[in-house]
Amino acid sequence: MDVVARMEDTEPFSDDLLSAMKRLWSDSGVQECFSRSNEYQLNDSAKYFLDDLDRLGQASYAPTEQDILRTRVKTTGIVEVHFTFKNLNFKLFDVGGQRSERKKWIHCFEDVTAIIFCVAMSEYDQVLHEDETTNRMHESLKLFDSICNNKWFTDTSIILFLNKKDLFEEKIKKSPLTICFPEYSGKLFFKRVLKWDFHKKF
């Protein structure tokens, strides 16, 4: 880790470092730990990058669009973006979802016309960073309910966006949905879960 920390952002991996990372990732013990990654806090894009170390380790490596989309940066504070589409001016606020960040949202509430509420489907078997006794999906359900019933948003359109479908589709094969929804009694197949109206839990 010290070697990686000392590297410049644009510096390629050395052959020794790349080899060590590949050996570590292929180790059976590490793979066993990874199979239980819902039990601890691991970035959900780790497998994507570690599975592709040969490409990432090339001296000519440049991030692809998918690499960039898979990169995770925790939102802290409020990020404001302005853009124009079809002669309409939009103002977008990206706010951190962590409990410690929510008190800052009040500064964005005035004249809001729409809210896009994002929920990672794959987090149904994970716990919060800040409170490891609370299921992430349960927290999202409570937060979504509080926003929908907030007096500030009685005339505001609210859009629910369920993302990370690909991770959910893989995870559901080995991690039961009953971890989050004990009332679910169907088979652990993605299409079967969708027929159960997963989105109607919100």
- Which residues contribute to the annotated binding site? 44-45, 69-75, 94-98, 163-166
Which of 72, 12, 16, 18 lies closest to 42, judged by CA? 72
Output the known binding site for Mg(2+): 75
Rounded Cα distance, 198 and 196, in Å: 6
Q: How far apart are the first and last CA of the chain?
A: 41
Q: How is the chain split among helix, strand and coil, in percent rounded to 5?
A: 45, 15, 40
Contact 177, 124 (CB under 8 A): yes
- Residue length of the chain: 202
Output the known binding site for GTP: 44-45, 69-75, 94-98, 163-166
